[in-house]
Structure 1
Amino acid sequence: MARLQEGDPEGIAEAFAERVDWVIADNPAVPWVRPRRTRADVAGHFREVAEGQEADPAGTSIDAVTVDGTEALLSGWLAGTVRATGKTFRSPFTIRLTVENGLIVRYRVVEDALTIAAACTPDARPPRDTADG
C-alpha cells in the first residue's frame, strides 16, 4: 500500500509476480480497466490510472484489512476526478490479494463499476449516490 501512495507505477509493479491472475471487471467506459497478465501490464494499469484521474486522498481510505496465510482482503473507499470529464466519483472497493514468495500473484478488485463508468462518460449521470458510504 505504501507503493500505491508513492504513485510510482513501476515501483508498484515490483510488488507483483511476473505473471499475475488479475481480475477487474472489464468496462469499456473506463479506459484503464481491462485484462492484465504481466508485471509490465500492472505498471501500465497504474500509469493509466494516474493519467486518467486525479486521486482524492481525502475521499480514499482503507477501512479493513484481513490476512489469512497467503490471502489478504482490503476494503474501503476510493475517490477521484476523471480528467477527461471533470466528473468526480466515490466507490466502495474490496481487493483480494494472494502473495507467494513475497510477490502478489492474484489481484481481484470489486468496485462500483457503474459509478466509475458514469464519471468517465461525459453525458452519463451516476446510477446512485455512494458518497455516504
Structure 2
Amino acid sequence: MTTNAKATATTRDIVQELLRRIGEGDFERIAELFAEQSDWRFNWPEEGHPSVPWIKPRSSRRDAAEHFRMLTAYHVPELNGTSVTRILVDGGDAVVLGDLVQTVKATGRSYTSPFALHLTVEDGQITRYHIYEDSLTVARALSDDSITS
C-alpha cells in the first residue's frame, strides 16, 4: 500500500469515528480525535453572531469538546435529523457533505442547511475543522428577531 493510500485509509477511519462519536454525543471522546491545537473555521464573521453562541474562534482540543457540548445544549437532540450524503478522502484531507437538520430548544424552530465539512488528519488526529453551512438559516432559527442581513 502506498503512503497516500495508507493516509487515505487512516483519514477515512478517523472521519467515520468522528461522525459516530458526534452521533453518540460523547463530547470528551469527540475531543480525543483532535490534535491539541487545530485550525477551526466557520463561514461566519470572526466574532460569530449573538444568537449563535457556539460559533466563536476555536483552536484547542478543549474547544472541540465545548463546541459539541454547546451544539447539544442549544438543540433538541431527539429531533436531530442531520445526514451525511458523501465522504470524499484524498490523503490526509476529507470533505464530508450532508444536510444539517436541527430544532432549537429556545425557539422551537427547526432548520435545514446543506453543509460541507473539510477535515485534515495528521498522525491520526484532526488538525483542521472547517465547516460551511447556511449561517443565515441557522441564525434565524435561533433568534427571536427576524434577521434580514
Whether TM exceeds 0.5 here: the answer is yes
The match for 1:21 is: 39
SS in 1 for 2:67: helix
Contact 2:139 2:147 in 1 (8 A): no
CA distance in 2: counterparts of 1:78 and 1:87, whole angstroms:
14
More helix by share: 2
Aligned length: 126
Q: Which runs of 5+ in 1 are unaligned?
A: 128-133
CA distance in 1: counterparts of 2:55 and 2:138, whole angstroms:
10
Tell me: higher relative CO, structure 1 or 2? Use CA pairs within 8 A at least 6 residues apart. 2
The match for 1:124 is: 146
The match for 2:83 is: 61
Tell me if 1:2 matches 2:20. yes
**Pairwise CA distance, 1:60:** 1.5
Structure 1 outlier segments of 4+, above 3 Å: none
Identity of matched residues, %: 45
CA distance in 1: counterparts of 2:36 and 2:132, whole angstroms:
23
The match for 1:131 is: none
SS in 1 for 2:28: helix
Q: What is the CA RMSD across the aligned residues, in angstroms?
A: 1.6
**Pairwise CA distance, 1:126:** 8.7
Sort the Cα spacing of 1:126 and 1:50 in 2 relative to 1 into closer, same or farther, 3 A.
farther
Bigger-Rg structure (1/2): 2
CA distance in 2: counterparts of 1:49 and 1:83, whole angstroms:
11
CA distance in 1: counterparts of 2:82 and 2:59, whole angstroms:
26
Contact 1:70 1:100 in 2 (8 A): yes
Structure-1-length-normalised TM-score: 0.89
Q: Which runs of 5+ in 2 are unaligned?
A: 1-18
